[in-house]
Structure 1
């Protein structure tokens, strides 16, 4: 199969639901392949990592959007993404990223562990209540979505009562991140973006009236204090911080749970040794990445993987394929948290490395061992449904039966209930 046909297959519904066989068809042609006059696909780990760090490559700017998508300024979805740090280049990207970075310092992230633990415990309680008598519950709706959305909304200062609104709006909006999108799909994305823009317009107004100790207030004050953030940038970055703050982690939790339930011995080890969670989470990110690809445009000629990339080349960096490059990870299709030096590209690399990567890792490092410990009988019930998306890979529904909760372990001589669950 030539590269163009492989990419066409990758964009099809079947290719999106399971992209890994198609990645290997592309990889057979080399770590970097040409699939069109100025269109290239990258499946090699070393090449993907280097391109993401190479200053000669940037995200699509307004001039290129004008060329490839005339009228894009009339699309709320494209406008919301393009005016955020996600789709801007330096110096604008650096300016916007600095304004939000204070909410994601290592100290602040570490301080959120207790909050994440409390929320995860409460969600497990709800799963147990919903799964009484062997009834299935949807893990995505009952745990994988509400945990990260609760965390990012707390950072942004979004009221808890409003959090259920965002899943559909975000699902609609993120269709615009796909490498190909129909006009009907763009209309759905625009609908989600319009809802999110309206919501954050109201929240911004509320924070002007009554400032709070949250990220929304900080960004509003940056906008109102001068020229550090335009009105479009303010709304766009609030939307992207919200959506990126839970979409990746939601998919990580769903993909990761299925992977662990498919590997019961590995799950049993993590259940007994939660201190191994960092290595497990990195391997889950590598094994079935919640973000499968990103794109870059070149501003100057370069050569990668023995292929010459002229200026103005459009490069699809296939993160999911790079994470399974056998040159970097022997037996890449095998789940193995004991691999040496697991450094997945799931959060990207270089200037656009995901701002909330440490927070996403923390949430998974807390949640996954907690689920395994409290719900040792947790099992998939029925057939999970994958979202027909390539960029953001995850489940639409994941029915599970929680089973019985693990009995609390007490220390000898301690009254039952006093010691609490073991770590």
Structure 2
């Protein structure tokens, strides 16, 4: 299978459900390979890290000029416009300007201060799972825990009322289709509808915070815009609030779902994590590497550059396969084996360089709290059927994840063991 055929397979429904065999087909052609369509695919860890870190030298995210060529009517799309005007699609100096305005809410000190809040929320959700599954009925882990935990945390930071939290999952899922490397007109229509709902919601929240400021990130960004529109334009304010909400739970929701399936399939690791919660940082990093919630990102080439002996001409499009880089045998010994004890390079799941995920520390904290707590509180937790994957490649996760839970150990008692699941 040549590189172009492998990429076509990767974009297909079958390839999206399990991209890892296709990554290896691409890797067989080298860490950097050109397709018949003219764009380049990166599977090597070193090469992916180089692309992500060298924004000032050669690689950048798609700018308006290129976007005009590829999507001539992108400004008529609420979904594309929201992503394009946010920090995730900004190059220097605009990227740094926008990122600095929100970064204060995600410092290590502030994230560490959220541990008790995250723990309390996770405990409440575990209680609800126990009540819902006490008679042996299946419980959907995605809807019962993996979504409500991170959405509650990011909404608290943004100042979004709890009554509105349930509304965001569908809107965000629809919007994030524009992050896929390919999108159909029908999918774009759905994405635009989700983006419009989110933009309308935050337009109203912005107006509310002008009338009644609060101690939250939304108020801080609104006041920055109102004081100096050059620091944050009105469109940037709206786009970044949408981004912060969506990015604040989408990645973590997928990390929790993907990670739970892996842990249930590796009961020795689950038992170790249950009994020694201090092992959580290593387990979470290995979960991020093993089945990344973010599988790819893209860059364009500003100036011609040589990468792994392959010349990338100026104007080229580069598909950086983070999920493949995380399983590069040149960087990770026996990369298809789940090994929380491995001494390893950091996974590229949150990116690297200037665009390293602003909320990476928060996502790690939520997972480091959630997994030991779940394994302790729900000692008989097990899969209750076949999970359903979302038909996405960029954001890899489950749509549904049915589980059964223990009817005992609702308190913090001694667990009876960890049931083996099926990946």
Task: Give the alignment's TM-score, normalised by structure 2.
Answer: 0.96
| Aligned residue among 125, 142, 165 for 1:163 | 165
C-alpha separation between the residues in 2 aligned to 1:298 and 1:402? 50
Query: Helix, strand or coil: the match of 1:4?
Result: helix
Q: Which deviates further from its counterpart, 333-342 or 285-294?
A: 333-342
Query: Helix, strand or coil: the match of 2:399?
Result: strand
The CA deviation string for residues 317-373 of structure 1, in whole angstroms up to 9 with x for no partner, is 000000000010111110000110241000000110000000000000000100001
> How far 1:407 sits from its partner (Å)?
7.0
Query: Helix, strand or coil: the match of 1:393?
Result: coil
Aligned-residue Cα RMSD (Å) equals 1.1
> How far 1:405 sits from its partner (Å)?
3.3
Q: Is the 8 A contact 1:377 1:403 kept in 2?
A: yes
1:58 and 2:60 correspond: yes
C-alpha separation between the residues in 2 aligned to 1:214 and 1:122? 23
Counterpart in the other structure of 1:3: 3
Query: Helix, strand or coil: the match of 1:222?
Result: helix
The CA deviation string for residues 251-293 of structure 1, in whole angstroms up to 9 with x for no partner, is 0000000000000111011110000000000000000000000
C-alpha separation between the residues in 2 aligned to 1:409 and 1:5? 52
Q: Any unmatched runs of 5+ in structure 2?
A: 415-423
Counterpart in the other structure of 1:332: 335
Q: Any unmatched runs of 5+ in structure 1?
A: 412-423
1:186 and 2:201 correspond: no
C-alpha separation between the residues in 2 aligned to 1:240 and 1:36? 33
C-alpha separation between the residues in 2 aligned to 1:410 and 1:15? 43
Counterpart in the other structure of 1:46: 46
C-alpha separation between the residues in 1 aligned to 2:96 and 2:379? 45
| Aligned residue among 345, 350, 354 for 1:347 | 350
Counterpart in the other structure of 1:126: 128
Q: Is the 8 A contact 1:283 1:342 kept in 2?
A: no
> How far 1:36 sits from its partner (Å)?
3.2
Query: Helix, strand or coil: the match of 1:133?
Result: coil
> How far 1:132 sits from its partner (Å)?
1.4
| Aligned residue among 302, 307, 322 for 2:325 | 322
Assess, with a 3 A threshold, how the Cα gap between structure 1 residues 408 and 163 changes in structure 2: closer, same or farther.
closer
> How far 1:242 sits from its partner (Å)?
0.3
Where do residues 3-402 of structure 1 align in structure 2 (5 Å cutoff)?
A: 3-36=3-36, 38-54=38-54, 55=56, 56-226=58-228, 227-402=230-405
> How far 1:403 sits from its partner (Å)?
1.6
Q: Is the 8 A contact 1:38 1:310 kept in 2?
A: no
C-alpha separation between the residues in 1 aligned to 2:397 and 2:288? 12
> How far 1:38 sits from its partner (Å)?
3.4
C-alpha separation between the residues in 1 aligned to 2:200 and 2:338? 43
> How far 1:37 sits from its partner (Å)?
5.2
> How far 1:301 sits from its partner (Å)?
1.1
Runs of 4+, deviation exceeding 4 Å: 407-411
C-alpha separation between the residues in 2 aligned to 1:376 and 1:32? 45
Q: Is the 8 A contact 2:135 2:407 kept in 1?
A: no
Task: Give the alignment's TM-score, normalised by structure 1.
Answer: 0.96
> How far 1:84 sits from its partner (Å)?
0.1
C-alpha separation between the residues in 2 aligned to 1:222 and 1:184? 37
